[in-house]
Amino acid sequence: MGWKYMRDSAFISSVIVLSSLVSFVFLSPAYSSGNVVTLTQTDTSSNPAIGHTANIHQSGSQLDFDAIQTGYSDTINSYQFGNRHEIVVDQSGESNASRNDQVGGILNKSTISQTGNRNLVVTQQGRRATSLGAAQVTGDTNHISVTQVGNDNAASATQNGTSSRNNRTVIQQQGNSSDAIINQNNAALSDATIRQSLGSNNLAAITQQGSSNSGGGIAQRGSDNQHSILQLGNEHTAEIDITGGSNFRGASSITPQAITQLGQLHNSQINVSGNVNASESYQQGTRNFSVQTITGNQNTGIAYQLGVRNVLNGTLSGQHNSFKSIQVGSDNEVVAVISGTQNTVATLQIGDQNSLDLNIQGSSNQFSVDQDGNNLSLVQDVTGNDNIVELLQRGDVSTANISVNGNSNRAVLTQDSAGGTTNIASISQTGSNNLSEMIQVGGGNNLASISQNGNRNQAMVSTDGSDNDITI
């Protein structure tokens, strides 16, 4: 065992080269500044039972710790208390671990690089709790960077603070069966990013709680990966970018969705490219905005929005894809563009003054729309063949405009005013062998119009009530 103990007066710069299995470095139990520790440990044995352990303790300000370890089963435990510290660790080999703790300060930075398999990184920055659970200090403008290359790696980063700001964490992993987890608590204007590439069976999870204007991003390249982002507060931004196959949502045990945002003025975006992927977003609050873009085959996309004045944009391209959206509240809006063949789309809106705009291009697609409330608006454009569109509006003073261009398409529209008045429906079809069916139930002063241009088309209109106007 090698033992190094140092107490400084004003400034200590030390370089330690060790071949012993265990080393301890304590810098200034008293408060100090400007210290630098450089640690190098190397062994050539491939025996996992033989490894180095370095324990570093620094207190003060502007303290640096640089470490290089090469071998198997090596461990670094570093602790820094104060402000403007920096930790840099470079580990190469197998089954190595780096545990880093920067406590109670601002402008701290931690950079960890690992190459090999079965490596572990755990890094924490920010406040610590007293025995009564109260926060002692804040943690602002702290940065964590982790890079892992290999398989079966794990990285966990936590940044805490009371009303902290400008924290940033980036985890990059290349390989298979790796986990990356980021937690940022009580932070504003902070960023969390996970990038996983060229691998499979990876997991990525980000949790950001409190305050506002924080961003979370996950990018995965490969197959059979999991992903999730949870954000609590206001004005957060979340983005997930997936390329590959058989990737799915729900990496966090807290939430089964890919993106979950609670609060107001959030933005979320999910981009999926590949086959047999699944993704899901959930927003609860007001004035939230969500985008889902899915390209490929046999993909599944789901979007939930609960609240008022929310907006959802969906783009679906490919074959055998499925997309479902649910909005509960008022003044919500859905805009969707669908292209390809044999896709399935289902939309549900519950509340007043909701609107839906669908643009469909392709063949053999199926669409189901259910709007429940008053003053509803629906616009749908369909281009292609053998499409099936089923639309239902329940409430008063609703409007539906449907345009179909192609052959062998079927459009069925039902408006149920439940005793109210003045629903307006229009269906226009161009092509052959098309079917239009319109049903208006309840009330009076309803308007129904069907226009067909082509051969062997069918039109059916059924109205219930008085003072209705029908045009075919």
Q: Which helix (H) or strand (E) holds 102?
A: strand 97-103
pLDDT for 229: 94
Residues 420 and 394 sit within 8 Å (Cβ to Cβ): no
Which pLDDT tens digit goes with each residue over 186-196? 878 889 999 99
Place of tokens 């709680």: 209
Which pLDDT tens digit goes with each residue over 229-246? 999 989 999 999 988 887
pLDDT at 89 over 90: yes
Rounded Cα–Cα distance for residues 336 and 296 (Å): 16
Kindly state the average pLDDT of the residues 42-61: 76
pLDDT at 18 over 50: no
Question: Domain residue spans in the chain?
Answer: 11-124, 142-358, 365-471
Kindly state the average pLDDT of the residues 247-257: 59
pLDDT at 256 over 80: no
Least confident of 261-270, 424-433, 463-472: 463-472
- Band (pLDDT 50/70/90 cuts) for residue 74 is confident
**CA dihedral of 399, 404, 410, 411, whole degrees rounded to 10:** 0
pLDDT for 30: 41
pLDDT at 14 over 80: no
Q: Which helix (H) or strand (E) holds 464?
A: none
pLDDT at 131 over 60: no
Q: How many distinct helices (H) and strands (E) make up the chain? A: 0, 43
pLDDT for 214: 87
Which pLDDT tens digit goes with each residue over 363-421? 888 889 999 988 889 998 988 888 888 999 888 788 899 998 888 888 899 888 766 66
pLDDT for 71: 84
What value, to the nearest 5°, has the Cα angle with vertex 282 and ends 234 and 228?
90
Which pLDDT tens digit goes with each residue over 91-121? 998 898 999 988 877 888 999 999 988 989 9
Q: Characterize the bridge pairing of strands 191-200 and 215-223.
A: parallel
Kindly state the average pLDDT of the residues 331-350: 90
Query: Rounded to whole angstroms, what are the CA distances from 354 to 247, 302, 310, 334?
Result: 32, 19, 10, 8
pLDDT for 346: 92
pLDDT exceeding 70 applies to what percent of the chain? 84
